[in-house]
Structure 1
């Protein structure tokens, strides 16, 4: 069973891929950086987890292409 933070991170990762495709990791990194600047380390941790999820998922283009077929 996933806790709320993990579920939210996975939802964010899925949304980023849908909205930004191959640029999803860049967007997540920018969000993590912004959270650090604002000293919101809880939010930064969530965006870092989103980055991990995106990295573990493999190439975004392949996932998007597979979903279209």
Structure 2
């Protein structure tokens, strides 16, 4: 079972792929950078996890994660 932070990161990754396709990692990196600038390190950690999900799983991992909800 996924904890709330992991579920939210997978949900964000899935949405980014759906909305931005191949540009999804760029958008996630921009969000992480903005969070760092605002000194919101919890939000930055979530966006970094989204980047990991996008890099590791691609769309196949996102489909598996979506089915696990």
TM-score, scaled to structure 2: 0.83
Match of 2:41 in 1: 41
Question: Partners of 1:11 and 1:34 in 2: how far apart?
Answer: 20
Q: Cα RMSD between the aligned structures? A: 1.1
Counterpart of 1:51 in structure 2 is 51
Runs of 4+ in structure 1 displaced over 6 angstroms?
A: none
- Please give the residue correspondences for 1:22-41 in structure 2 after superposition, counting only pairs within 5 Å: 22-41=22-41
- Provide the rounded CA distance (Å) in 1 between the counterparts of 2:4 and 2:25: 21
Gaps of at least 5 residues in structure 1 are 64-69
Structure having the higher Rg:
1
What SS class does the counterpart of residue 54 from structure 2 fall into? helix
Shift of 1:4: 0.3
